[in-house]
Every structure is written in structure tokens, then in C-alpha cells.
Structure 1
Amino acid sequence: MSANTVAGLAQDDRVSSALYTDPALFELEMDRIFNSTWVWVAHESELRAPGDFRTAYIGRQPVIVTRDRKGGINVLLNRCRHRGASLCETPKGNGNGFTCPYHAWSYALDGKLRGIPYPDGYEDVMEKKDLGLQRLKVGVYAGMIFASFNQDVQPLEDFLGGARLWMDRFMKQGAGYPIKVLGEHKFRFKGNWKIQLENTTDGYHFPIVHRSWMSSVDAETAGMLSFMTDEEAVTHSLGNGHSVMIMTPAHADLDEDDGTEPLQERFSHLVEELSREFDPAKVRRIVRAMHGTGFNLNLFPNVAMSSSFFRVLRPLSVAETEIRHLALGLEGGPEIVNRERLRIHEHFQGPFGFGSPDDSEAWDRVQRGAAGGPDIPILVNRGLGREVQAGNGDRTAHSTDETGMRGAYAMWKAMMTDDQ
């Protein structure tokens, strides 16, 4: 497929349905996007102690993220160098290394080959030092761990660019405590990965798809997300495919608080409990952040830092995607707060919640509909006429506009055509 053909599939205001349905495009994406740029793999709170590890995927390639005995973070291809078996099928844990279940080749936490059973027969055939696990390039920012198969990939901070400000702000929901992953669940939907990528900064769908959630919460919570007509609720395209949608402007930076916003009545029991241990300012800081931040941040190509949780996508095929939702809490913070945050997470993002199941149904339906009328484009033109460009190059429009999608598809087009 020529670069010109691919380029013609993504225009400023529309993209071809083939982006959801063409298997050849999907294969090209795995090579030119997921195997070539920075992809999120873990959060540092999942790897606190030496020996901690978790498994993940970059595109369709399995990897192991480890913290070695010296404290270093490694991302290793989950593939034995002997006959190719996967080394680790455990989602997370702690250990001294990894041993292949097939022929027991063993590897250290940093990927070095430590031992081979019955080594006779390998004399003058190979050197152990040459057969360690494939190591990926690793970068960390704001506790977020990224990896790339491309050893010449641009520096992580350059890739994140304007998203770094929002990553820093996202972590402020810890109210002075570090953020940690409390737990996760995952599910699959029968749709292309880019359908979910679009969703995180798509404010247009919220009051429609999430009517059941809006009717299930108290008026104060619903009011916080009544951003459809709020002129200060905007979306910024941050470059390199990243975008941020601000839904609750007063919570865009949780360090800024003029003290006039009343705390939600639903958290009165928390205020009473926390007041026994903390001063009023600290109590207010924790409770104001119970719903997380006032924005959703989308990091191209695979992770969203969405209000109070991480959403991670994994492309399985052109028409199937796995989603992981990671609930977040305060490391070292009051347990009553973490329990309450889990309940909030379950209510919207959980498998029996009021939010994510509705999202998933919508994504499925986009994929099913896209199979019809292959010559009819997918429109991403909402707000194009009122979009403005800031001095730093960011494109900005209302939070219900498709500015973030346009930025993501501009990056998709650049990477798929090598026009960067």
C-alpha cells in the first residue's frame, strides 16, 4: 500500500471507513506505530520493590516490565531466545528472574541469560552473553513507564511535549500522596482500536451515551459534568496525537482553589472521618479530588489518563480491541479514601457500572456500521470552524468538538506515511 494511498485515507475533517476495517492497514499500524514509537506499559506503583514485574503488550508483542535488584526498570520481550516460548504468563508478581517452561533456559530480571540446562552440546556454538532477552528502550515520566522497540526513537519528553503539563496536573489528585494502582479489570470489544482512541476526548457523546449514569448520581456530581454549554470547557490538541478535554475547568489544576466551591454532600462522612486526623485544608484537598481531575488526557497511541483512572487499549485485530481499566488511589493515604475511590470507579468504569458498558456498546456499533457503505467517510469535523491555534501550536475548540480526534489522525497519517 503506497504512502499516497494511505495519506488519502485521512483528511483534515474526515477519515475513510477503511481505517476501522482494512486488515492490511492494521498490519501497517502494528509496524509503523506500535513497533516504532513510545507505548505505555506500566505505572511505577506496580513495580515498587526489586523483583516486581508485570506483563504487558506493545501492539501484539508480549513484554515483561521488571524492576531489577539495582532498582532499574527494564522492558523485555516475553520470548525465550531458544525456541521462542513465552517466559511469563503471570500478570504481575515478584521473583528473581524468569525460566522458560520448555527447556528451562533462565534469565535475570534485566534480561541476561543466566543458565542453560545440560550445556554440553553448546561448546563453540554460542556465547551466553549474546543471547539475553531482547531489551526495549525505556522512558519514565510522572511515574508513567513507556517503552519502544525503536532504539532511535525521539526522547520521551519530546514525544510527550505539551502533554507533560497535564500529566503533572493529573498526578495532583493524590493530594500530596503518590498515586498508586489499586486494581484493574479488562474486557474486549468487537471494534478497531482507534474507535476507543477517539472516545476519551469526545465530549459530544457524554450526555447521550451516559444518560443512565447521569441519572444514577446525585445532582452535584451530575452538575460537575454539565459541560455542554460551558465556554471554559475546551479540548486542546497537544501535538504528536495527544489531546486533553477539560470537563470541569475548576478542577483542571487541583492546586488552584479559591475556597468558594462547596464540598459535595455525598462525601460528608469522609469529611467527618478525615477531620479526626487532618487539618481542614488537607481534608478539603483530598475530598475535592475524589473524582480525580477535571479533564481526560489522551496519550497517543494507547493510554488515557482519564479523570481518576488509566484506560489502556491493546489492538488484537482490525476488529477487536482489549481494554484495561486501572483504578487509582493514594499510596500511604487514608484507606477510607481509597475504598471510596474504588466505589466511584466501580460505579462508572466497572464491568457492572453505568458508564463503560454503554461506551463498549457504542464502539461495537461503530464497527458494525462501518462495514456498510465503505465509500462513506467517518466525519471528525465538529467544531472545525471555531477551532483556534495558540501561540505554542496547540489547536483548541470546545470540549464537545472533535479537535482531539483530528490531532490523533494527523499523527496517524504522519507515522503511516513517514511524513514526520
Structure 2
Amino acid sequence: MTAFPDVKSLLEADRADGSIYSNPDVYEMEMDRIFTHNWIWVAHRSDIPESGDFITTFVGSHPVIVSRDRKGQVHVMLNRCRHRAATVCEQRHGKTASFVCPYHGWAYGLDGALRGVPHQDGYTGQLDKAKLPLVSLRVEEYNGLIFATFDKDIMSLDAWLGKAKPWIDLFMKQGAYWPVKTMGEHKFTFPGNWKIQLENTTDAYHFPIVHKSFLDSVDKETEDTLTFLGGEGYVEDLGHGHSVMVMIPDLVDLDENLEAPIPQRFEELAEELGKDHSPEEVRKIIRAVGGSGFNLNLFPNLACSMAFFRVLRPLSVSETEIRHIAIGMDGGPEAANQARLRLHEHFQGPMGFGTPDDAEAWDRVQRGSLAGRDIPVLLNRGIGHEAERENGNLYSDVSAETGMRAAYRQWLVAMTAEENAE
């Protein structure tokens, strides 16, 4: 059994040891304790809308296939042939009736069942296909978000998401009158630990500094909307490591404030939509195009970030893959979806203003954390005026590090779960 380090000494209520970003033993422990014993987001319902649809992705370091079988049931299976361990699917996405290993031709159904073995008589009756399906993970779904876990005894997804569920529901209102759908992604890696990015999604403090070039690129009305430090926004701990950072309170519920003036940058779009939709419908669609006013962090790997999904995947202790997935209205006006894509490209895209600046900051944190010893990473912003709501949730102002502290509390719970069970 692997001897893992004592992580309790690495984290305090308001600070963390810098080695949490660079210690390979801590990283291996995270892969074991966090990415195999928590609910990990793997797909959105729209990625596999019909029977036979599939995508390939990862749960931690494990390659998996997410498929929808002929009965409509979703499966998440290890992408590993039960014979000699070859992957049985290399396509990113597609439609199929089965998965066939290219090495020896073992064939598996959409549900992972082993259907066929070439020249099976060579096993002289010693092979039972029923006992050799693709290894399946536990799968559950909430409002289109599909999660999987290796842990068969973990709490239900409904309980795990808990107080984050109402925020997921609010985020999905970006479909306006239609369901939300994914519309492509921008994928990249950065030379840093996965937790640096986890922190970033709940960090409003950096926005006017890191993203000054973005703010300089937008119109004055948009700039004023995104100048939210010192405003009425807040960060709230939702339990189980989840948190929400509300930056623009007026855009929390997209079904409200429909009488608000249409922002100048959407006036031309509103005129085009008005040819086929009523004024009220136009206002609702326009609000959906602009996105929600909050970032929702779902521990450990998904952020519902204003108007897109941000998914992280640890590659090593000092390298992380990020996917920025654009979302739109499934069946909605093409002009509205095109507008959402243009907004996504402006900030999240590879030539956008936001992603390159964020990635530079993450890289610097990784490199800087190697300088010196016994110098803590501070997580104390806003802790002095953190308060508790009636439901027990901790919250503080929008620039507070409440969300980071929430994530690290859950990190410690997961990392010490076996010790606490003894």
C-alpha cells in the first residue's frame, strides 16, 4: 500500500503550504483520494443526446467512454479492453453500435457488455464473456450535468451537490426558452497544479488587474457592469467544497428584470430577433445571451462560469488541462447562439483577452511557489467579515477568498477520509 504524506500540516484555516502545488506525493494522494472517491463531471446531456452517441474523456487519470445505450441509459466505462488493456475507442465523439478493440477484435456493446470474441474456441471453454464487460463507474445526472465516480458507496449525487443545485438551475436558464447545449470547446494546458485553477474561478480580486486589457476592449456600459469590486456581490460556501461567486446580482436569475433596458452591445441583435419573436421573448433571449452573473465552482473539476463550462483535468503535479466549453440554446435562434460564440471567443477563446492572461498568472503562481521555504500561500482575504446565513452558509464580499477556503476544507476532508474512518 502506498505511504501517503501527512497533509494535515499543509493546511490551516487561512493559509496553505506552497508545497501543495509541487509535492508529487501529495499529487498522487489527490488522484487516489479525490479523483476516485468524489463525483467527477464527465459530460453534458447534449454531448450524447441519442442512443449510440458517445464521447471519450477522463475521470482523473483514467480514460473513459461516456455512452448512451439503446434504451437511453448513460454509461461511463473505462476505455480499456479486458483482454490486453488496449483502448477500445480513440475518437473524441461519435455514434456507434459497439466498441471493438483494434488489437484482437474483442467487441463491447454500448453498455460495456462483452458481445464477441474472435476465435473463442481457443479458450477451450475457459472464457465467460458475462464476467468480462468494460469496467463501469457509478453514474448519476442532475439538470443535464453527468457525473461519474469509482466509489460505489459515495453519497448520492443529489446529496453531494446539495446547496449548489439551485445555482445549477439558475445557470441553466441560459437556454432561455430552450434546453442548454454545448457548442464546442477550447482546450489547452498550463504548467501548473490543478488547484491553482480551482482557486481562480472563485477569485474576483484578480479581475480588474489581470483582465485590464479585456476591460479596455469593451464598451463603457459593459466595463461598468464588470466593475464589481466594492459592489453588492458576494462569495458563498455551498458545502462539499462547492461555492458561488456572485459578481452581477442583477443577472443571477435571468427570468427576472426582463423590463431592464437592453444593453447597447445587444441592440442590433435585439432588432434582428424582433423579426420572429415578441418584445418579451427578445428580452429573455438577450439576457440569456449575456450569461449569468455568477461563477459556480463544483468541487473538484467543474465550474459553471458565467456563460461557459470550465473543466480541469490534472495531468501531473505541475501540469493541468483546461477545457472551456461554449454553451448555447438547443433549438434557439441561430443569431443568438452565434452572438454567444462571439462573446466566448472574445474572452475565453485562444485569441481572446481572458484566457491568455489567466494562464500567465497561473504559471507564475506555480513557479513562484517554489521560491523559499515555510512561506505560506495566504487564503485569508475577507475572513474578518465572513458571516453565516440562516441556512448555515458562510459568505463574504465578492473579493473574499471564502470559495477557496471552502474548496480546501473539502480537500482536507477527502485527503484524510481514511484516517478519520479508522
Residue 348 of structure 2 corresponds to 349
Number of the residue aligned with 1:236: 236
Q: Which residue of 2 aligns with 1:248?
A: 248
CA deviation profile, 1:207-252 (whole Å, cap 9, x unmatched): 000000000011111111111010x200001000000000100011
Q: Do the aligned partners of residues 101 and 374 (structure 1) sit closer, same or farther apart at CA in structure 2, a change above 3 Å counting?
A: farther
* SS of the residue 2:159 aligns to: helix
Letter in 2 for 1:138: V
Q: Which moved more, 1:391-400 or 1:363-372?
A: 391-400
> What runs of 5+ residues in structure 2 fail to find an aligned partner?
none
The yes-or-no answer on 1:216 pairing with 2:255 is no
Identity of aligned residues (%): 55
- Which runs of at least 4 in structure 1 moved beyond 6 Å after TM superposition? 1-4
Mapping for residues 17-416 of structure 1, pairs under 5 Å: 17-230=18-231, 232-257=232-257, 259=259, 261-416=260-415
Shift, 1:3, TM fit: 8.1
1:89 offset after TM fit, Å? Answer: 1.3
CA distances 1:62-98 after superposition (whole Å, capped 9, x unpaired)? 0000011110000000000000011111111111111
| Structure 2 Cα separation of the partners of residues 184 and 64 of structure 1 | 18
Q: Distance in 2 between matches of 1:30 and 1:396?
A: 29
Does structure 1 conserve the Cα–Cα contact (< 8 Å) formed by 2:258 and 2:283? no
8 A contact 2:5–2:26 mirrored in 1: no
| C-alpha distance in 2 between matches for 1:33 and 1:266 | 42
One-letter amino acid of the structure 2 residue matched with residue 378 of structure 1: V
Work out the CA distance in 2 between the residues paired with 1:9 and 1:287: 46
User: Is the Cα contact below 8 Å between 1:3 and 1:416 reproduced in 2?
Assistant: no
Distance 1:123 1:347 in 2: 62
1:291 positional shift: 2.0
1:272 CA drift (Å): 0.9
Q: Retained in 1: the 8 A contact 2:4–2:26?
A: no
Amino acid at match of 2:255: D
Cα distance, 1:399 vs. partner?
A: 1.0
Q: Cα RMSD over matched residues?
A: 1.2
> Are the equivalent residues in 1 in contact too, given 2:54–2:66 (CA < 8 A)?
yes
Deviation at 1:258, TM superposition (A): 5.9
Paired residue secondary structure (2:146): strand
Q: Report if aligned partners of 2:258, 2:280 keep a CA contact under 8 Å in 1.
A: no
1:392 Cα deviation after fit: 1.7
CA distance in 2, matches of 1:4, 1:361: 30
Instruction: Tell whether the 8 Å contact from 1:73 to 1:138 is kept in structure 2 after alignment.
Output: yes
Counterpart residue type for residue 144 of structure 1: L
CA distance in 2, matches of 1:220, 1:247: 15
Amino acid at match of 1:125: Q
- Measure how far apart 1:189 and its partner are: 0.1
Aligned residue number for residue 6 of structure 2: 5
Letter of the 1:75 counterpart? V
Once residues 133 and 151 of structure 1 are traced to their aligned partners in structure 2, the CA distance between those partners, rounded to angstroms, is 16
2 CA distance for matches of 1:5 and 1:49?
Answer: 46
One-letter amino acid of the structure 1 residue matched with residue 246 of structure 2: I
Q: Which moved more, 1:369-378 or 1:406-415?
A: 369-378
How far does residue 255 in structure 1 lie from its aligned partner after superposition? 1.6
Three-state SS of the structure 2 residue aligned to 1:323 is strand
- For 1:374 and 1:196, how far apart are their aligned partners in 2? 22
Q: Structure 1: where are the runs of 5+ without partners?
A: none
Following the alignment from structure 2 to structure 1, what is the Cα–Cα distance between the partners of residues 5 and 363?
30
SS at match of 2:76: strand
2:240 counterpart letter in structure 1: N
Would you say the 8 A contact 2:233–2:245 is kept in 1?
yes
User: What is the deviation of 1:372?
Assistant: 1.1
Q: Report if aligned partners of 1:235, 1:243 keep a CA contact under 8 Å in 2.
A: yes
Pick closer, same or farther for the CA change 1:3–1:133 going to 2, 3 Å.
closer
Give TM-score, length-normalised by structure 1: 0.98
Give the C-alpha shift of residue 8 in structure 1. Answer: 1.6
Instruction: Tell me, in whole angstroms, the C-alpha distance in 2 between the residues paired with 1:192 and 1:182.
Output: 27
Structure 2 partner of 1:16:
17
SS at match of 2:290: coil
